[in-house]
Every structure is written in C-alpha cells, then in structure tokens.
Structure 1
Amino acid sequence: METTANPQITTTAAPPPEIRWQQLLESINETPATSAAINNSVTPGVAATGNGGSSGGGASISISASVGQATGDKLRFRTVIPSDVIGAIESGNLPEATTLIDLMFTEDLGYYFDKSVMFEVNYFEAIQDKIRAASSLTNTKTAVIYTFARPEQLDIILVPPKGLPIHRSVPEATRQVLLEKIKQFSGKLTNPRQINTDKYLADSQQLYRWLIAPIENDIKNLGLDTILFSMDAGLRSLPIAALHDGQQFLVEKYSLALIPSVNLTDTSYSPLKDAEILAMGASQFPDNRPLPGVAVEIASITKEWEGVSFLNENFTLDNLKKQRVGSQFRIVHLATHAEFVPGKPENSYIHLGDQKLTLDRLSELRLYDPPVDLLVLSACRTAVGDEQSELGFAGLAVQAGVKTALASLWYVSDEGTLTLMTEFYHILKQAPIKAEALRQAQIAMIKNQARIENGNLI
C-alpha cells in the first residue's frame, strides 16, 4: 500500500521489523500516562457504511467511532510496512498478519494528521478479546474482516471471536483493477444523470464477488450478524452496504461497520435512548448551495429527542462551545455542509454558521470533555476513492474526540437526508446499537417503507 508521507517524516529505509517494534515500545513509554490515556480516552473508530436511497444505492451514510485523540507528537516513522504483512501472509502466520495489518492501518491516520496516534500495541489474542467484548456487550455475533489490496491480489482476512483467522485471496482483483472498479461504481452512484437507475448494479455485484463472496460461506458458518470492515487505502470510502449479491444488498443481511483498525475502536457500550441532543444547522452559505431542508430536519429530530437547537446566525463556534459547557449532550447533530477533500487536514472543513472549521481545528470543540457518544454530519461530502480524504473522514472522530461519528459520503437530496435522518433517530430510540439503527433505516428506504410527507415521517 502506497502512502503519502509528510516531508518532515522519513518513511524510506525503515528499520527491520524487530527494531521498529522495539522503537515503537520505547516511543510509547516516553509518553506520560500512556496507559491511562489508552484506557480512558478515545481514538478513531467504528464506521458503518450503507446506501440510504430508495433506489438501493443512491445515498450513502457512514458511521465512524473513536476511542482517542491524536497526540501532538510527530509520527517519526512507520513501525509496520506492507512487506511485513505480505511476509506474514505468505508464511501462513495469520495471527501475526492480522496484528501487523491492524497496526499499519492505525498508523495511516497518524501519518495523515502528522501526529502520533494513541493506540494499544495489540497481539492477536487482544484483538480477539475486543471482538468478543463487542459481541458480548451488544448481544451480537460480531467479526472483523480486513481487506489488504496489494498490487498482485486482494487478501481478505476474517477474524472471528474465537479460533484462528480465515484467509482468502482473490488474484483477479489486483489493486489497480479493484480501485478502478470502485471508481466506476462510485461514479455511477453519484452521477446526477443516473439517479433512480440501476446502472451501478453490475459494478456493485462484481465488487461483491471480489470482497464478500470468497468469505461468505465462512460468515454463514459462524452465524455472524454484525461485520466490522477494516479496509485498505483506497477502499475506505466504498459504500460497503450497497454491494449486491444479485438478490439483495449486503446491508439487508448484516449490520455493518467500517473501522480504521481494531486498535482504534472503542468497544464500550452505552444505550442512547435517553440521551439529550444538541442540534445545530445552517441553510444559507456564501460559497455553497443552500440547504433549505435544514430547519425541518432539526425540528423533526428535536421533536422526538430531548435537547436544544440553533440555526444559521446562532450556529457559531462560540455558541457551540458555550452549549457544551456543563452540559450532558451525548449527541451532537450538525446539519450543514462539510467537505473532506484531498490534501492536508486543513483543506477539509465543517461549515458553521459563522466560519469554516477546518479538520485540524476540531479539537477546539472539546467534544471529548464531557464525552460525546455520537456526532452527526448530515450534509457531508468526501472525495470518494481519494486516500487522503478517506482518512479525513476517519480522522473526524479522532480530531473531535467523539466516540462515534456519522456522516454522508456525498451530497443527497434534502428529502432523502430528512427521511433517513428522521428514520434513523426514530429507530435509535429502540435499537441496541447505532449500526443496527442505521441498517433498519436504510432497509426502510430501500423498500420504500419510509418517506416524508408534509414534514412528517410516513
């Protein structure tokens, strides 16, 4: 996997694996209160992707959860590189390959932000412990699937709660071929001229054959109902829920989540049904299209959930900070434009009512004190397939310090956004986990069982 390093960081001539591991351990030990930081804070984490349009592939929403913030220190060099992972796979040491790939994906975020990311140096059993914890706390049957897109083939590793990892290789899905197919698929989904058509379906089914079919019998044999995908660079903005097996979408079979790594995933659980919400939004922008449905969206959410709301000129950085002081808002909903674009974090932003808050400044919101369980951006857009913008979305949770972030991958109609958000929040009152609430909302839209009439959910 190719990465773009900051000029201040040297990635060439990396030390041998055993030396890099020792240096990593020494680096962590240099950080004061590292153990406490790992145990008590948040990092970049769980994301569930899926389609939200009635056509089955139109709108795509992603959830991203986090267990900690990036520290201010530079990430000096990579401790794991692709050749380490390849060596472990080729030697048949799948537990080691799993551990290495998880650490490598963790470091991807650190390189994007040019910071050291707080993470646990996990061994394979520790990774499985976290998977089992997630299953137990949420009463689900959960596993993690890693995808590793090397130049000559796609590697898929399924990690169940118990037992050894399961590996499948797909030689026909070379990295170049796979990324080109993802680009075609996403292009058809986002092309305004192809809305409400099924022209994306052939690409969706081909991607299913490469990414899901090789491991599907194992998924069924394990009786899984929840899958966490940890994807390689270039695949992280793929709307995995919109993959189609010829009969139905993947989201119709399983609850899905996209995580940057297990190391960066918070497996703690706390129901949100009684949470209070801080809802803010903007409908007019000097340099972007208006969002006329924002007021209705905010009103529909706060009608069902306890909390407060602010629009336009009252949606300011100072007011957002003020409302957070001494509050217990566990959900923060921002109905506004947000752009995750190629390049450095300061190129990406969330458009508040009075300014653009760039990604590198998200920590100013102090959403980690007290901790926010769910941050929602309902009018977000990501440069699909771009490795840096993908990390910008994953980094949303890291920089903000929230446990979970939910955002659209690309712009959708006001009606589509309003329907999905209203249905999601309605189901969240009863659903045990956020990914399942999103799944049920998406299925309702796929089957045309949810729509908005006169501002009300039907």
Structure 2
Amino acid sequence: MGKKHIFIYLILIGFLLTTSIPLTFAQDTKPDFLEGPGLRNSLDLGNFAEAVDRIEKDWEEEFQAYFKEDFAVRSKTVDEISKTLARLALQTKKKPALIYVIPRADQLELLLITPDRPPFRHSVLAAKRDTLIAVVQEFISEITNLRKINTTSYLNAAQQLYQWIIAPLELNLQLQKIDTLLFCVGGGLRTLPLPALHDGQRFLTEKYSLARIPAFKFTDSNYADIRKSQVLAMGASDFSNFSQQQPLPAVPLELKTISQTWPTQSFLNKDFTVVNLQSERLRQRFAIIHLATHAEFKPGTPNNSYIQFWDTQLKLNQIRALGWNNPPVELLVLSACRTGLGDKTVELGFAGLAVEAGVKSALASIWYVSDAGTLALMTEFYQQLKTAPIKAEALRQAQIAMIQGKVRLENGALQSSRGSIPLPPDLVEIGNQNLSHPYYWAAFSIIGSPW
C-alpha cells in the first residue's frame, strides 16, 4: 500500500473516531419565544429586528441540538439580510426574497424580507398549526400515492396551502419583481414539497426559483459562477453487499449523461468508495459532488441516517468530518433520497443537510422518486445548470420541462432538451411514461444557498 493510500485511510479512521464522541448541549429552559406572547408582541409592535433575531436563534438551537454541534455562526440583522439580498440581486440578475413561515397553535405567521425594503408581516388566522399540518400531510399523501398518479387529487391541498403561505405575500412579490424565494420554515413544514403548491393556474415552481434554508445565518451568501466547474460523479447500480437496498439500473446512464455535458470524473459500483471520494478531492478541486445512490433520512439521531456507498454507509453525523468546506463544495447532489416523512428529527436532518455537510448548497429529494424519474430530472437539471445564473433556477427549469411534458420516456428513450437518450433494458420495459405529475419532480429541493 502506497503512502498516499495510508494517509487517506488515516484520515478516514480519524473522522470515524471523532464523530463518535458524544457532545452534550444544555437543555433550553427559556420559555418558548415562538409559541408564547413574545413573538406576537414583537410583530405587533413592528419590532421585526427582534422577531427575526429570536426566530433565527430558536431554530439554530434546534439544529445544533439535533446534530450535537456548535455551528458558531454570527446572526445577521434584518437590515443586513435585506442588504445581502440586494447585493445578490445585482450579482445574479435574480431578485430574491426571504420568507419566514412560523406555524403556531393559534395561527400561521408569515414574515417577508426583500431587498432594501422594510419587512412585511401577515398572520393567517385560519391556518392553526393542527389544521395546517393536517393539510400538509394530506398534500404529501396524495402526491406520493402511485395509485393516483394519473389524477390531480393533490390539487385541493396544493391550492389551500398556496392560499395560506404564498397568496398573502403575492402582491408584494409582484410589485418588487421577486423571482427567487428562500423559505425558512418551522417544524412540520420542513419536508413540505413547496414546488407543487398551486395558485389555481400554475405550480409555485413555474413562478419562482425556490430554496429551503434552516436559518439565514447558516446560508452562504457569496455568489460563485459554477457553469464551468468540475464534477465528481459517483454512484452504484448494484447493492449486492447490502441486500436491503434495491438496485438502481439507471445510475450508469445518469453518470454517463453528466460526463457528456460537464468535465467529470466518474466512479461506479466497486469504485464508489469513501476512500476514492477523498483521494479525488485531495487530487483536484471539484465544485460539484454528485452521488447517485440510496440516501435515507431516518427518525432519531443523525447516525441513523446515511448515504450508501459500495462498501459502507456514511452516517449523517460523519459527513462534516470529510471537510467538504475545504476546499469548498458548491453543490452536493443526492439523487436517490428517501425521507421518513412526518418526523421532527427527520425534518431537521433533511433541512440541515447542507450546513451539516459543510457544502454551500445541496440538491436532494424528500421522497424516493422512481429510477427513471430521477434519471429524467437529473439529466435536465445538469443541462439547465450549464446556462442558468443560479442553481435554484436550473432546478426550476428542469421541473418546468417535466411539467410541460418536454422530458418524458418514449419509445425506449429519454426525451429531454438534450435530445433522445436510449434507455437501458430495465427501463425500456417500463414503456412510455409521462413525467408531468408532481410525484416525479416536486420531491427535489435546493437546500441551503440558491445561488
């Protein structure tokens, strides 16, 4: 074994040991600011600076307690957030807004922050927490019910949620020509498939680029153009070493299509190891890491959740020690995620993925989409990423292409903006497939920075 490989193994042993050390966080004995009168008093008095500061602190404590990490990030004031959004609008030519969505027992609170404007607050009295969460659960249940894949059974819930969360802010968004929305949401909403909210005419993703963030203080607001970046693409189609995992026959084609569009180093099946991932990152800088494999966000502690490699499962609480912030990874793509819906700890793991991994942005799915559907979206996403000014816009354009039927399975091939791509035999057997239903595209979210 060469010195280089010994060094890499030592790195891996080191992070496995360090991530196993338990950290203890003091129990928060303060009254619940978000549920008590404190938040309402701040909002009623127009003291938005205090309200945002406390919202960010409360949610920071939630994520730190779950990950057992002190992220030690300085808070930003409302004025600083607004100025940051204004700077990014100039840099990217995409005008963003930040929406805090705070479910409370007696009402839903919305707080909108836009570039160089005072914050706007709206309370939705009809959307009491229990009522709101019941509609969210119905919405997800209808979208993911494969027996209803040829229906629009999800629309009633999609439109109700739009009326509660988006409609009260719509006039402000239109007047200020906002086209990118960052959602910072409370418990029960962190795995809400936001792209599929519906105004009666169009899906939300047809109107805005979208991203979900755990807190603005965790969001990397530096803009970098990644359109000429290197991609490290890895994955597995066969999981014979892990009998509980289903094969992913589309993965070889998924990696191949990426390499045809982007400068790429690819590793498939037995070469898809943590050792190879780390050695490649030591060899050269990759702004994009694409992992075409099973990833599961499970209830309980972070070490219950994992990314599946060929020979091991990389636990969620081990990712940070891989050092993906040095050199910085602009985008981590997990193309075959499965999320245990309806669990608070799962929500924290999913929504906190980017900050815990130390990457600027992550693209992941709330539920596991079919192998063919994932191939379709990823192929179109990487095609759009070559020209889109920001990552969230590339995802939006890929989702729109699927909604409009421009991306579909037809005559043994994937039809997309790249043209016709022949499918492997396992996927040819599926036959023609329309991928416009939100089951196929609404699960995918940008987590962290949309830029």
Superposition TM-score tier, normalisation by shorter sequence: 0.7 to 0.9
Alignment partner for residue 329 of structure 1, among 286, 293, 305? 286
Give 1:455 deviation, angstroms: 5.4
Contact map agreement 2:235 2:291 (CA 8 A) in 1:
yes
Q: Which structure has more RCO (C-alpha within 8 Å, separation ≥ 6)?
A: 1
Contact map agreement 1:296 1:455 (CA 8 A) in 2:
no
**Cα distance between partner residues in 2 of 1:188 and 1:337:** 23
Does structure 1 residue 110 correspond to structure 2 residue 67?
no
Distance 1:260 1:175, change over 3 A: same
**Cα distance between partner residues in 1 of 2:363 and 2:65:** 23
1:36-435 mapped onto 2 (5 Å cutoff): 74-78=24-28, 81-82=33-34, 83=36, 84-285=38-239, 286-435=243-392
Distance 1:278 1:81, change over 3 A: same
**Cα distance between partner residues in 2 of 1:436 and 1:72:** 39
**Cα distance between partner residues in 1 of 2:50 and 2:176:** 22
**Cα distance between partner residues in 1 of 2:75 and 2:201:** 41
Give 1:108 deviation, angstroms: 2.0
Residue identity in the other structure for 2:198: H
Does structure 1 residue 454 correspond to structure 2 residue 437?
no
Question: For 1:236, what is the secondary structure of its paired residue?
Answer: coil
Distance 1:133 1:202, change over 3 A: same
Give 1:230 deviation, angstroms: 0.7
Residue identity in the other structure for 1:196: N
Give 1:77 deviation, angstroms: 4.9
CA offsets 1:98-139 (integer angstroms, 9 cap, x no match):
222122222221111122122113222122222223222212
Distance 1:73 1:125, change over 3 A: farther
Give 1:350 deviation, angstroms: 0.5
* Matched-pair identity in %: 46
Give 1:368 deviation, angstroms: 1.8
**Cα distance between partner residues in 1 of 2:383 and 2:93:** 21
TM-score by length of 1: 0.81
Contact map agreement 1:320 1:365 (CA 8 A) in 2:
no
CA offsets 1:283-324 (integer angstroms, 9 cap, x no match):
122212111111111111111111211111111111111111
**Cα distance between partner residues in 2 of 1:222 and 1:385:** 35
Contact map agreement 2:257 2:379 (CA 8 A) in 1:
yes
**Cα distance between partner residues in 1 of 2:250 and 2:383:** 18
Distance 1:215 1:448, change over 3 A: same
Give 1:265 deviation, angstroms: 0.7
Give the gaps of 5 or more residues in structure 2.
1-18, 420-451
Residue identity in the other structure for 2:97: A
Of 394-403 and 308-317, more deviation after overlay is shown by 394-403
Question: For 2:294, what is the secondary structure of its paired residue?
Answer: strand
Question: For 1:251, what is the secondary structure of its paired residue?
Answer: helix
Contact map agreement 1:103 1:263 (CA 8 A) in 2:
no
Residue identity in the other structure for 2:319: L
Give 1:443 deviation, angstroms: 0.3
**Cα distance between partner residues in 2 of 1:184 and 1:174:** 16
**Cα distance between partner residues in 1 of 2:307 and 2:83:** 36
Aligned length: 389
CA offsets 1:324-374 (integer angstroms, 9 cap, x no match):
113111111000000001111011000111111110111243222211111
Give 1:456 deviation, angstroms: 6.2
Residue identity in the other structure for 2:299: P
TM-score by length of 2: 0.82
Distance 1:371 1:111, change over 3 A: same
- Runs of 4+ residues deviating >6 angstroms: none
Give 1:161 deviation, angstroms: 1.2
Of 91-100 and 149-158, more deviation after overlay is shown by 91-100
Question: For 1:302, what is the secondary structure of its paired residue?
Answer: helix
Residue identity in the other structure for 1:341: K
